[in-house]
Amino acid sequence: MSRETLAPIFDDPDRGLSNKGFAAEIGVHPATVSRYRSGKIAIPDRIAGEWEIRGDKWYRKG
């Protein structure tokens, strides 16, 4: 999934990314994102500074 595919999601700030979509956006394996959410591994600063989790979706801060 490319940034162009995800672009409509970012046009609507009320919609977030699923774990799979977020993994594609930041370039990591979906299992890594699941570990971020569960607290098994720390969310890197570069991600924590730009993204937040609300409910079951990832949203850009701002």
* 26-52: average pLDDT: 91
* 31-51: average pLDDT: 91
Better pLDDT: 30 or 62: 30
pTM, whole model, 2 decimals? 0.68
| Contact status, residue 16 vs residue 54, Cβ threshold 8 Å | yes
Better pLDDT: 9 or 39: 39
Banded pLDDT at 1 (limits 50, 70, 90): very low
Q: What is the pLDDT of residue 2?
A: 47
60: helix, coil or strand? strand
* 8-25 pLDDT per residue, tens: 444 455 678 999 999 998
Nearest-CA neighbor of 19 among 60, 44, 56? 56
